[in-house]
Amino acid sequence: MPQPNGSSTVKPRRPCCHSVVEYIDHDRVTRTTDGGSSDEARLVSATMGSGASLKAKAWDTVLSLV
């Protein structure tokens, strides 16, 4: 929400990280190899697997820009 002096209450890095999290947690295709549910595979990837690594890398990248 814009402030009267023109500044924003949202830090510029937050929308970048939210976009990455949104993609990894909700839009990214995750394959299953053991016949399990794709929702379970997405959860595991997002919290402990390659999705978690991507989120950490995105956060580190954003922090290096500020």
Over the stretch 18-53, which tens digit does the pLDDT of each residue have? 888 999 988 888 888 788 888 888 888 899 999 999
- For residue 24, is it within any domain? yes
CA atoms 61, 62, 65, 66: torsion sign:
negative
- For residue 6, is it within any domain? no
- Specify the number of domains making up the chain: 1
Radius of gyration of the chain (CA): 16
Confidence of residue 16 (pLDDT cuts 50, 70, 90): confident
Domain residue limits at 19: 13-29+39-65
Write down the pLDDT at residue 1. Answer: 46
* Residue 11: CA count within 13 A, CB half-sphere: 8
- For residue 44, is it within any domain? yes
Confidence of residue 9 (pLDDT cuts 50, 70, 90): low
- For residue 8, is it within any domain? no
